Amino acid sequence: MPPRRTRPTLKDLATRLGISESAASFALNNRPGVSEETRRRVLALAKELQWAPHHAARNLAGITSMTVGFVLTRDVQEFGMESFYLRLLTGAQSVLSDRGYGLLFQMTRSVDEELAVLRRWSEERRVEGVIISDLRRGDPRPAFLAELGLPAVLAGGPDPKKLLPCVMVDDAEAMRLIVDHLHQTGHRRLAYVSGPGDLLHVHRRIAAFKQAAAGSLATPGVVGTDYSDEQGVAATRQLIDASERPDAVVFDNEVLAVAGVRALRSAGLSVPADVSVVSCEDSAICMALQPSLTAVQRDPTVFGEAVARKLLRLVHDEPEPAVEAQQPTIVIRESTRQR
Amino acid sequence: MPPRRTRPTLKDLATRLGISESAASFALNNRPGVSEETRRRVLALAKELQWAPHHAARNLAGITSMTVGFVLTRDVQEFGMESFYLRLLTGAQSVLSDRGYGLLFQMTRSVDEELAVLRRWSEERRVEGVIISDLRRGDPRPAFLAELGLPAVLAGGPDPKKLLPCVMVDDAEAMRLIVDHLHQTGHRRLAYVSGPGDLLHVHRRIAAFKQAAAGSLATPGVVGTDYSDEQGVAATRQLIDASERPDAVVFDNEVLAVAGVRALRSAGLSVPADVSVVSCEDSAICMALQPSLTAVQRDPTVFGEAVARKLLRLVHDEPEPAVEAQQPTIVIRESTRQR
DNA sequence: TGCCTACGCTAAAGCGCATTAGCTACCCGC
DNA sequence: GCGGGTAGCTAATGCGCTTTAGCGTAGGCA
């Protein structure tokens, strides 16, 4: 590999054209102050020499860093939700790069680490704003970000203290869609295998589930998990071993659902003949499985796009609502059947 | 949200302590030139005021950007391989952040776009090096990067023209593991549902498969796909409709495998009783499915770590081999059975 | 006592750009 | 013919940091 070329600077352009740096700068930034003729010459030479502004220099001279950050703390969710996040990232990324923004991405192992990263990014003036997700009960991040004064958007709110603007999916509505569908198809004993209860969206879903299924809750109605395959199996087993076996089980995501279907089968139960199954998260797996899984759909790519757009508006001080919601839809497949 | 605090600068620290900026800089960068006493005071004040060096300023003053880039061009693979990439990213990320490096992540829709991104990052001096992946036949990226002089590591080589250092998985060995296992378990008519043939690793796998399975190839032995669920189904159907039906089918990844199992079942064939199935890629799905899928394992997280380490060595001009290989292993599960 | 070195520090330059103030020539209107 | 405005440019400053050169003082050694 050849040594990295020393890149041409603005001064190089200017001296080669016999003009001042400022003139060149004006030309390149499409600013008044130079003749069309000069502008043309500068642009041509810049193209020829493959000149591009030094990012750090530009940044230092007052232009913003044109970068936003995305931190993701993953622990128990190690094996779940993977496709969700990459698709979220995809969506956010496409909006950002369209507007010339870069995305600095970091994964951390704990919330403390995440706070440290956010602080560093902010202090170093490395990012103009950040995207965060997975708010938990008592989460320190909203207050922390507010104190830093770092623009931030929560992917998946709402923030109970309203410190953070967010793009959320209407979890209650999602649950209602599911329960309504199950009711309409004649199910009378519903159960829910949820994620970790300290995740706020899980908390909301549980509440919504209990409310929507009020008259038709199996016992136990809700069993929590850490999103792992093992706990998905265990929770499902617990439900079917109970005196009042459910005729439909809702799973918080597709990983749990897949585990659940397996557990049901190995207990001699058929899906959907004996028990119907619904996943709160859709993905290729839900479609590919046999039986294919009825699921709530919320396109993570579109979601990511909305989050990125919101963050950019925030960064540019454009007026906007604090909370933005996406409507989920339900896709009915083979895993739920009329009773 | 409060306005973003104006951060303290080095000068602020210096004047408040009655010393020069240089002294403060020496202290903060752990350089000789200041007394221990002064160093202590500077560090204490920096901590108190939550001072951190302005990233762009540091960069401009000669320190590198402490950033590496990762571009990913995705097209037909839209629905496949998602977990693989996020795990690759996870691994790379952990190594990078441990050493204080940031990761700039971008997805593009075409190779041309990707080239443009690479060029811009290089010209703007925004990254010190990049990670790329998914080399295709006649891929312009190695030569392009060599010309830019931008340090780069290929995740998943090798580069046939040897322009790019890489961390690769031994695809031929992986295929040999699979075919050996199938032979040992008595399979005699092997088939392979591959990915797109213009991906070099797919090309290598096909060649290795044909060679390893030479005496026991079904007809047709190999059917290509674009990694989509639909083509996975179609390819599988094509195989079982052929005169010489395979007794084992190898799928290029878990998405295809899941599609394949479905296609086999809906044709009235049982897995593994009638046909065995192997996936060239492992993931939670392979474990969770029923039957669980025999698969080749290559931990993408470890892979990502190796890639990042290699890139950092490259960036720091540390000597290292051009090609690094990871040994795959095979995990035998329920989807393959002794015949 | 005198010289040399080491230490602890300061002053100044420079990284590559954007921006502001200023300067010159020119054209316009009266 | 003159004042005032404007187009087109240059010079200079600053962004926040690192680094080099330089400077004074104190201590070591002969």
Give tens-digit pLDDT for A233-271: 999 999 999 989 999 999 998 889 999 999 999 999 999
Per the DSSP assignment, residues forming a β-bridge with A223 are A193
Q: What is the CATH number of the domain that holds B31?
A: 1.10.260.40
How distant is C1' of D7 from CA of A34, in Å? 8
- Minimum CA–CA partner of B146 in chain A: A1
Q: Does residue A139 form part of some domain?
A: yes
Per residue in B271-297, pLDDT (tens digit) is 999 999 999 998 878 887 888 999 999
In this prediction, residue A76 carries a pLDDT of 44
Per residue in B119-132, pLDDT (tens digit) is 999 999 999 999 99
The identity of residue A176, as a single letter, is: R
**String of DSSP letters for B239-284:** HHHSSB--SEEEESSHHHHHHHHHHHHHTT--TTTT-EEEESS--H
Q: Does residue B159 form part of some domain?
A: yes
- Alpha-carbon distances, residue B99 vs A43, B102, B103, B260, B312 (angstroms): 39, 9, 11, 43, 9
- Alpha-carbon distances, residue A183 vs A190, A271, A335, B268 (angstroms): 9, 17, 15, 33
Q: Does residue A2 form part of some domain?
A: no
Check CB contact of A149 with chain B, cutoff 8 Å.
yes
The identity of residue B308, as a single letter, is: A
Does nucleic acid strand D have an atom less than 7 angstroms from the CB of A63? no
In this prediction, residue A298 carries a pLDDT of 87
Q: What percent of chain A has pLDDT over 70?
A: 97
Q: What percent of chain A has pLDDT over 90?
A: 76
Instruction: Determine the 3-state secondary structure of B326 from DSSP.
Output: strand
The two structure tokens encoding residue B170: 């031994």
Average pLDDT over residues A213-217: 91
User: How many whole angstroms from its chain centre is CA A74?
Assistant: 13
pLDDT band of A219, cuts 50, 70, 90: confident
pLDDT band of A169, cuts 50, 70, 90: confident
pLDDT band of B76, cuts 50, 70, 90: very low
Q: Indicate whether B90 and B176 sit together in one domain.
A: no
Check CB contact of A162 with chain B, cutoff 8 Å.
no
Strand D close residues, chain B 50-79, CB < 7 angstroms: 51-54, 57-58, 60-63
Q: Does residue B246 form part of some domain?
A: yes
Q: Is pLDDT above 60 for B79?
A: no
pLDDT band of A2, cuts 50, 70, 90: low
How distant is C1' of C20 from CA of B270, in Å? 78
Q: Indicate whether A148 and A232 sit together in one domain.
A: no
Average pLDDT over residues A171-179: 95
Give the count of domains, chain A. 3
Shortest distance, CA A2 to any CA of chain B (angstroms): 5
Q: Indicate whether B54 and B75 sit together in one domain.
A: no
Per the DSSP assignment, residues forming a β-bridge with B68 are B103, B129
Shortest distance, CA A214 to any CA of chain B (angstroms): 32
* Residue B42 belongs to domain spanning: 10-60
User: Is residue B266 a contact partner of residue B246, using CB atoms and an 8 Å limit?
Assistant: no
User: Is residue B224 a contact partner of residue B197, using CB atoms and an 8 Å limit?
Assistant: yes
Q: Is pLDDT above 60 for A77?
A: no
Q: Is pLDDT above 90 for B114?
A: yes
In this prediction, residue A4 carries a pLDDT of 73
Chain A 169-188, CB below 8 Å of chain B: which residues?
Answer: none
Q: Taking CB atoms and an 8 Å limit, are A126 and B55 in contact across chains? A: yes
Using the 8-state DSSP alphabet, how is residue A215 labeled? G
Check CB contact of A267 with chain B, cutoff 8 Å.
no
- Minimum CA–CA partner of B54 in chain A: A124
Q: What is the CATH number of the domain that holds A131?
A: 3.40.50.2300
Q: Is pLDDT above 50 for A224?
A: yes
Q: Does residue B82 form part of some domain?
A: yes
pLDDT band of B3, cuts 50, 70, 90: low
Quote the CA–CA distance of A218 and A191 in Å, as a whole number. 6
In this prediction, residue A17 carries a pLDDT of 93
Global pTM value: 0.91
Q: Indicate whether A72 and A213 sit together in one domain.
A: no
Q: Does residue B335 form part of some domain?
A: no
Per residue in B9-48, pLDDT (tens digit) is 999 999 999 999 999 999 999 998 899 999 999 999 999 9
Q: Does residue A212 form part of some domain?
A: yes
Q: Indicate whether A306 and A164 sit together in one domain.
A: yes
Q: Taking CB atoms and an 8 Å limit, are A103 and B102 in contact across chains? A: no
pLDDT band of A324, cuts 50, 70, 90: confident
Average pLDDT over residues A47-70: 94
Average pLDDT over residues B248-267: 93
Per residue in A116-156, pLDDT (tens digit) is 999 999 999 999 999 999 899 999 999 999 999 999 999 98
Instruction: Determine the 3-state secondary structure of A223 from DSSP.
Output: strand
In this prediction, residue A283 carries a pLDDT of 83
Q: Which of A5-9, A25-29, B253-257 has the highest mean pLDDT?
A: A25-29
Q: Indicate whether A175 and A323 sit together in one domain.
A: no
Shortest distance, CA B155 to any CA of chain A (angstroms): 18
Q: Indicate whether B181 and B282 sit together in one domain.
A: yes
Per residue in A8-45, pLDDT (tens digit) is 999 999 999 999 999 999 999 999 889 999 999 999 99
How distant is C1' of C2 from CA of A278, in Å? 94
Check CB contact of A44 with chain B, cutoff 8 Å.
no
B89 CB neighbour count, 10 Å cutoff: 25
Q: Indicate whether B162 and B210 sit together in one domain.
A: no
In this prediction, residue A289 carries a pLDDT of 83
Please tell me the number of Cα atoms within 13 Å of A138 on its side-chain side.
Answer: 2
Q: Which nucleotides of C are covered by protein (CB under 7 A)?
A: 7-12, 14-21
Q: Does residue B336 form part of some domain?
A: no
Shortest distance, CA B270 to any CA of chain A (angstroms): 13
How distant is C1' of D5 from CA of A35, in Å? 18
Q: Indicate whether A42 and A126 sit together in one domain.
A: no
